[in-house]
Structure 1
Amino acid sequence: MSNLRILYKNIFDDYSGAAMSVPGSVIGHQLINLKDDQKAKTWRSVDLSSPKMIITWASAQEISGVALAFTNLIAGSTFQITLYDDPAAGTLLHDTGAIPVTYNYDPPVGFDSIGSASFAYGGGAHVSAFFNSVSGVERMEIELTSAGNPDGYIEISRIIAGKFWEPNENADYGAKTDFIDTTTGMRTSAGDLITDRGTITRAMEFSMQAMDAQDKAALNNLFRSIGKSQPLFISLVPGNGPITEEQLSQQIYGKLDLDLSVTLPFFQRYSASKRIVEI
């Protein structure tokens, strides 16, 4: 299994052009929304069989990972990423093939789907693909399918693309994912429990207790670069194959929640703990 992978420099936001191969975005849910970190701002297409986004850059980019955060992709859906060396034609540099989603969680209580209406209550799904680094990219195409989606449309809140960082030494065993439920309860004078439903978000926490000097330098650079103000995408179980429950549960799009403290537990080995909270 690959070590954890982190996307923290999102070149998607630097695109020079974004369009659909066939116009089909829902009014109010255009491609520009994919640059916004507010979960409720999404791109939608009522084409469930083959909507294709075409993203271009004015200069060559390097890409080794692409993530689609907060989607309504259910089991049976697919996504495919192709990279080219020209904004309009050119040579195919990489093709992931159609990557299937093999699992989806039930919608939160009170919702009929895992779409954006439920994102604040535990809905939505992240999917991602990681691959060997590809240089000279000037165009990225993302094609999707989601036959039978109960929403009647495909929906994505955020795209993250760029070059991933992977440590030489993986995260320690014991990484955990927390579900943070802000629901509150009050006991009435009659003895009844009155519940005020709150939002549900996730947090991921893990340690790296045996980093070498190269990993320590890269982690310092990451934190100095984005701090706690900018989002990142982390997968503890990265791959480029089918999206399983394990992948759905072990990746997160969020922000660092703790200051970075690096310790020196023994000679030329470094230790740090990270906690990331969902946006």
Structure 2
Amino acid sequence: MPNNKVRFLIEDVMDDAELNASSQTSGLPAINVQDELVRKVYRTTGKANEYVSFKASGGPTGFNTVFIGNFSASKDATISLQLNSTGNFGSGPAVNVTLSMATDGQGNTLRKITHFFDSVQNYQHLRLYWKDAGNASTNIEVGRIMAGRYIEPNRNLREGFRLTRVDPSRFAETSGRQGYANVKRQYTEMTYSVSSLDEAEQDQILGIYAKVGRFAPLLVSLDPVARPQHHTYYSQITTPVGRQQRFGKEMDLMEVNFQEKN
């Protein structure tokens, strides 16, 4: 990984925002983008000119991270992340960022987008807008959307961490014949540990765990500068958070496991 530090997003400032959308399919409404269950999607009725917008409660709110999960846009889609002080985006948003769908080494589209701003953005209105007329599907699905301020601990994870790609598909094998598979979407498991944390740094990590525990999802970006699309994961912690004394009040954070949710 390049020399940039791991980032965590544990709070979504748009969780209670007012929503508006260009279209929606019955049974899969726009409000699903606020659901913690990332596979619970919002589905449009079209694909050529669609949007979902947020109006944050309580006025302008500060954020520097936006995540879009389980997004079925194609790699050729035109996607814009727009910010504004009012809901009138037609006259031109104050901030307009062009996004794109990343692909893996075989050209398969990754169903997620992460964007980190260089500074905190203070706006009440956020809109995700896209045109994807060439998509093979007749509509577009969007899962969890998060916006907030990331936490970047002073010390980065130590070398030797692991990334494991898991295929949870069920396969029934039959001797001499092809088996039968119930194919499911693959996900990533990762490990995280840090050496020589002082008390303030320990408090920061424990504060993250106190907020999400093992039950609430969080965003983990292992490579936020160079490859945020490939190495940012909507995850849950799956192990306790342990510490081991190193010297004086300094402690090592023992290996913590994260599991991607999709």
TM-score with structure 2 setting the length: 0.81
Within a 5 Å distance, the mapping from 1:85-234 to structure 2 comes to 85-86=85-86, 95=95, 97-104=97-104, 125-134=111-120, 136-183=122-169, 194-197=179-182, 199=184, 200-234=186-220
Is contact 1:185–1:193 with CA below 8 Å preserved after alignment?
no
Is contact 1:186–1:194 with CA below 8 Å preserved after alignment?
yes
| Cα deviation digits, residues 2-33 of structure 1 (max 9, x gap) | 31111111222121x1102xx32233322111
> In the alignment, residue 139 of structure 1 is paired with which amino acid?
H
From the superposition, tell whether residues 218 and 183 of structure 1 become closer, same or farther in structure 2 (CA, over 3 Å): same
Is 1:265 matched with 2:246?
Answer: yes
Partner residue in 2 for 1:277 = 259
From the superposition, tell whether residues 171 and 214 of structure 1 become closer, same or farther in structure 2 (CA, over 3 Å): same
From the superposition, tell whether residues 78 and 237 of structure 1 become closer, same or farther in structure 2 (CA, over 3 Å): farther
Q: Distance in 2 between matches of 1:62 and 1:177?
A: 32
Uncovered stretches (5+) of structure 1, i.e. residues with no partner: 108-112, 115-123
> In the alignment, residue 98 of structure 1 is paired with which amino acid?
T
Partner residue in 2 for 1:63 = 63
Q: Distance in 1 between matches of 2:214 and 2:94?
A: 33
- TM-superposed CA distance for 1:227, in Å, is 0.6
Q: Distance in 1 between matches of 2:142 and 2:101?
A: 14
Q: Distance in 1 between matches of 2:201 and 2:93?
A: 29
| Cα deviation digits, residues 215-254 of structure 1 (max 9, x gap) | 3221111111121111101111114x8xxxx444312112
CA RMSD after TM alignment? 3.1
> In the alignment, residue 53 of structure 2 is paired with which amino acid?
I
Partner residue in 2 for 1:24 = 23
> In the alignment, residue 73 of structure 2 is paired with which amino acid?
L
- TM-superposed CA distance for 1:72, in Å, is 1.4
From the superposition, tell whether residues 51 and 210 of structure 1 become closer, same or farther in structure 2 (CA, over 3 Å): farther
From the superposition, tell whether residues 261 and 56 of structure 1 become closer, same or farther in structure 2 (CA, over 3 Å): same
Partner residue in 1 for 2:237 = 256
- TM-superposed CA distance for 1:158, in Å, is 0.6
From the superposition, tell whether residues 175 and 93 of structure 1 become closer, same or farther in structure 2 (CA, over 3 Å): farther
Is contact 1:74–1:103 with CA below 8 Å preserved after alignment?
no
| Cα deviation digits, residues 42-88 of structure 1 (max 9, x gap) | 11224434422220122132211010011113322343323334456
Is contact 2:68–2:112 with CA below 8 Å preserved after alignment?
yes
Aligned length: 255
Is contact 2:44–2:141 with CA below 8 Å preserved after alignment?
yes
Is contact 1:76–1:147 with CA below 8 Å preserved after alignment?
no
3-state secondary structure, aligned to 2:219 = strand
Q: Distance in 2 between matches of 1:248 and 1:133?
A: 19
Is contact 1:76–1:102 with CA below 8 Å preserved after alignment?
no
Within a 5 Å distance, the mapping from 1:44-63 to structure 2 comes to 44-59=43-58, 60-63=60-63
From the superposition, tell whether residues 179 and 47 of structure 1 become closer, same or farther in structure 2 (CA, over 3 Å): same
From the superposition, tell whether residues 77 and 6 of structure 1 become closer, same or farther in structure 2 (CA, over 3 Å): farther
- TM-superposed CA distance for 1:171, in Å, is 1.8
3-state secondary structure, aligned to 1:230 = coil
> In the alignment, residue 166 of structure 1 is paired with which amino acid?
E
> In the alignment, residue 231 of structure 1 is paired with which amino acid?
P
- TM-superposed CA distance for 1:162, in Å, is 0.9
Is contact 1:168–1:211 with CA below 8 Å preserved after alignment?
no
3-state secondary structure, aligned to 2:215 = coil
